Amino acid sequence: MQNAFNNIINENLMNKSIVFDVGTNLIGIMDTNETVYRHYYGSNRLEAIELLENATEIVSFNGKKYDIKEVNKVSIELREIPFSPKGTHTDILNKCWDYCFAGSLDKCFKEIIGADVTFPDTHLGSNEKDVYQTLMLWKHLYRS
């Protein structure tokens, strides 16, 4: 039953814009039309990679310098082929520089969105916070 549910979720994420963040042994994602966080650990990161590859757009904060390279390493580790996204990659760090010189995701979020959000002080909570803040910045900077 859980696999059938995951297949439905994954099918709904195909061909959409997806926000993502890479953590240690973890890839977190959110569909830009929803705010449902999904995380993939260990070998399950392959599912996240496939979703990212089939998305029309993938969105990150500083992904050009970090997250894309890490996803590529995981892709090679798990299936021996490089990460090859079909859609575009939007790294909102560059756009944030137009509005603030803060540099970090947390500081840019507070300065541009004007809010402070709290998530559990865990590895997973930190990843979810990064994905959420990136999504909210993307919506504000690119969709408003």
Which domains are delineated in the chain? 2-143 (3.30.420.10)
How many other β-carbons are positioned within 10 Å of the β-carbon of residue 120? Answer: 10
Please give the chain's pLDDT, 144 residues, in tens. Answer: 444 434 444 455 555 899 999 999 999 999 988 778 999 999 999 999 999 999 999 999 999 999 999 999 999 999 999 999 999 999 998 888 777 766 789 888 988 898 889 999 999 999 999 999 999 999 998 876
Region of residue 114 (phi > 0: left; psi between -120 and 50: alpha; otherwise: beta):
left
- The pLDDT score that the predictor gives to residue 61 is 94
- The pLDDT score that the predictor gives to residue 103 is 72
Residue type for position 62: N
CA 114 to chain CA centroid, nearest Å: 21
C-alpha to C-alpha distance for 128 and 78, rounded to whole angstroms: 23
Encode 10-41 in three state secondary structure: HHHHCCCEEEEEEECCEEEEEECCCCCEEEEE
Cβ burial 23-35 (10 Å sphere, 16+ → b, else e): beebbbbbbbeee
For 60, the 3-state DSSP assignment is strand
- The pLDDT score that the predictor gives to residue 39 is 96
